[in-house]
Amino acid sequence: MKPAPFTYHRARDVAGAIALLAELGEDAKYLAGGQSLVAMMNFRLARPAHLVDLGGLRGELAYVREDDGVLRLGALTTHHQVESAPLGPDFAVLREAMSWIGHLPIRTRGTVGGSLAHGEATAEWCLLAVLLGAEVVVQGVGGRRTVPAEELFLGFFTTALEPEEMIVEVVFPRPAPHAALTEFAQRRGDFATVAAAVDLDAGRVVLGGVAPVPLRVPEAEAVLARGGTFAECAEAAAAAIDPPADGDGGAGYRRALTRTLLVQACEEAMRR
């Protein structure tokens, strides 16, 4: 469980890091908090020839700015920084959701941008970004562009980012005072067997663990839009999905979890 050989580079500024990655090609990876990438490298499931460490950019890219109903998070903001940030009721859902991410040591290293770029389908940030309609600001050799979160995740660990593109900021453009995320895993801190997130203000429903990407469920959202009950909403979601089976449970079990968790998330969101 030691990584294959790689060359280590330390980035001094954003533009330099991007230029370096463009020059090194597809065998190069950015290293943010390292909480997923390094473990995969130790298993030799990931074998980048070059790592460009972004640790030196924290001064520039780690921040939490809430201003006039808009929240901006620097890409290198850690989960723990969000967890301990004085966020108002508009974005309390983010602060509360952080406790689902791994364990405290992981949260002190793992980053918002790293998690989104990794694109794991049950990752809390991926769900939250889709749920709250986040705009993901990415920078490449040609400058900056904004990718709506819903267009970021293309498939299993696959995102719309170009190899050299770096997430620099995540913008949550609208308040979400009545939103919640909940999950179930047999052990606290594990990848969710199913995660359910709901934003009652926007009428959005997003599920994790039931598809290769964080999944918006229009059928369930339609129930909310027409004023159906939370149970009806959950039932519609369970009927709409085609979840995978693995050691944590079969498709039927994931549907059952979806029913339970979505009602819980709706009730929690209501209470806020």
Partner 1 sequence: MTWVGRSAARREDPRLLTGNGTFVDDIHLPRMLHAQFVRSTIANGTVTGVDLSGTLAVPGVVAAFTAADLEMGDITAVLERPPSEFVPTAMPVLARDRVRFVGEPIAIVLAEDPYSVEDGVEAAQVTYEAHPPVLGEEAALAPGAPLVHAAAAANTLVDVSMFATEGIDDIFAAAHRVVRVRSRTGRQNALPLETRGAVATWDAREEQLLVRTCTQVPHQVRTVVAGCLGLGERAVRVVVPDMGGGFGLKCVVGREEIAAAAAALRLRRPVKWIEDRRDALTASFLAREQRYDVCAAFDEDGRILALDADVVCDMGAYSCYPFTAGIEPLMASAELPGVYRVPAYRVRGRAITTNKAPSAPYRGVSRPQIVMVMERVFERAARELDLDPVEIRRRNLITEFPYTGINDVTYDPGSYLEALNLCERMLRDEGWYERKEQAAAEGRFLGIGYSCFNERTGYGSGAFAKRKMAVVPGFDLAQITMDLTGGVTVTTGTMSHGQSHETTLAQIAAGRLGLDLAQIKIHQGDTDRITYGFGTFASRSATIGGSAVARAATKLADRLLHLGAHLLETTPDDVELHDGHVRRRDGGGRALAYRELAEVAYLKANLLPKDAEPGLTATASFDVHGDGTFSNAAHGAVVELHPGTGRVEFLRYVCVEDCGVAINPQVVEGQCRGGIAQGIAGALFEEVTYDEQGEPLCASFIDYKVPTANEIPDIEIHHLETPCAFTESGAKGAGEGGTIGAPAAVLNAVNDALRPTGVELEDTPIRPETVQRAIGAYA
Judged by the rule CB under 8 A, the positions of this chain that interact with partner 1 are 1-5, 43-44, 184, 186-191, 247-250, 252-253, 256-257, 259-261, 263-264
Helices 218-225 and 230-240: angle between axes, nearest 10 degrees: 160
Token pair of 15 as six digits: 């533009």
Q: CB under 8 Å to 26, separation ≥6 — which residues? A: 163
CA–CA dist 44, 210 (Å, integer): 27
Where helices occur in the chain by DSSP H, the ranges are 14-24, 37-42, 58-61, 79-83, 92-97, 104-107, 112-118, 124-131, 149-152, 218-225, 230-240, 251-271
In this complex, which beta carbon is closest to partner 1, that of residue 210 or of residue 261?
A: 261
Cβ atoms of 257 and 193 within 8 Å: the answer is yes
DSSP codes joined into one string, 235-247: HHHHHH-----BT
In this complex, which beta carbon is closest to partner 1, that of residue 108 or of residue 260?
A: 260
Q: How far is the CB of 249 from partner 1 (least distance, A)?
A: 4
Q: How far is the CB of 227 from partner 1 (least distance, A)?
A: 24
Q: How far is the CB of 187 from partner 1 (least distance, A)?
A: 6
In this complex, which beta carbon is closest to partner 1, that of residue 7 or of residue 146?
A: 7
Q: How far is the CB of 73 from partner 1 (least distance, A)?
A: 27
Q: How far is the CB of 104 from partner 1 (least distance, A)?
A: 12
In this complex, which beta carbon is closest to partner 1, that of residue 177 or of residue 244?
A: 244
In this complex, which beta carbon is closest to partner 1, that of residue 61 or of residue 257?
A: 257
